[in-house]
Amino acid sequence: MSTAARIIGALFVTAATIAPAAAQSDGPVTRADISTQLDQRFARIDLNKNGSFDKAEFAAAQKQAEQQIAARIAEKLAAEFSSLDSNKDGSLNPAELAAIRPAGQSGPDTATLFKTIDADANGKISKAEYLGLQARVHATADPAAQIKKFDVNGDGKVTLTEFKSGPLTAFDAADLNKDGVVSVEEQDKARALRGR
């Protein structure tokens, strides 16, 4: 699926949830893998490297990550626009936009998508309108809410131990046989329990 197709699909999503890394895996996941991922994420947020992060650090790290992601998405969207613009006129018409979606893919029809992207309603999607997709699906986590989510002792700072506590507790709950690995079967059972 193209980057634009994923972004367009996100425009029509009313709520999003972030699942733990184990729940997003296609194969077995070890506790050590999760712990390493959490260590790396924490290191990216703890900008002053003092062993904890506060709301300001979280906000700064979030902004930095969003800028990096936005640059990668803009690059991908620009390349997709060029490949979709089959007549090379610098804009997309409805037929060219239709090529973005594989046959049988669910979601809004091409006409609805076209109207959504064609901000000036001139019947053409410019490169700027196409690249503007990424700005339309921007959701930023509230730094204060994120700190509160992890700050177990309520001191306004999140330590590595606090940061890892919730995700590792969820991992341990999903690791039914307590072997340090959440198998595909255990992941399926955890998803079924969350779905109740």
Position 135 scores a pLDDT of 67
pLDDT > 70 in the chain, percent = 79
**What's the maximum distance between 2 C-alpha atoms anywhere in the chain?**
60
**183 confidence band (pLDDT: 50, 70, 90):** very high
Average pLDDT over residues 169-189: 92
Position 140 scores a pLDDT of 67
* Per-residue model confidence as pLDDT tens digits over 85-143: 999 999 999 989 888 766 666 667 788 888 888 999 999 999 999 988 776 655 667 88
Position 105 scores a pLDDT of 63
Residue with more model confidence, 18 or 52? 52
| DSSP-assigned states of every residue in 52-120 | EE-HHHHHHHHHHHHHHHHHHHHHHHHHHHHHH-TT-SSEE-HHHHHTTS-TT--SS-HHHHHHHH-TT
* Per-residue model confidence as pLDDT tens digits over 52-79: 999 999 999 988 888 888 888 888 889 9
**1 confidence band (pLDDT: 50, 70, 90):** low
- Of 160, 91, 77, nearest to 125 (Cα)? 91
- Of 135, 163, 142, nearest to 59 (Cα)? 142
Residue with more model confidence, 4 or 89? 89
The whole model's pTM is what?
A: 0.61
Position 127 scores a pLDDT of 93
d(CA 21, CA 16): 15
CA angle 178, 181, 187 (to 5 degrees): 95
The per-residue pLDDT of the chain, averaged, comes to 82
Residue with more model confidence, 174 or 13? 174
Which of 23-37, 44-58, 103-117, 171-185 is predicted least confidently?
A: 103-117
Element (H, E) at 125: strand 125-126
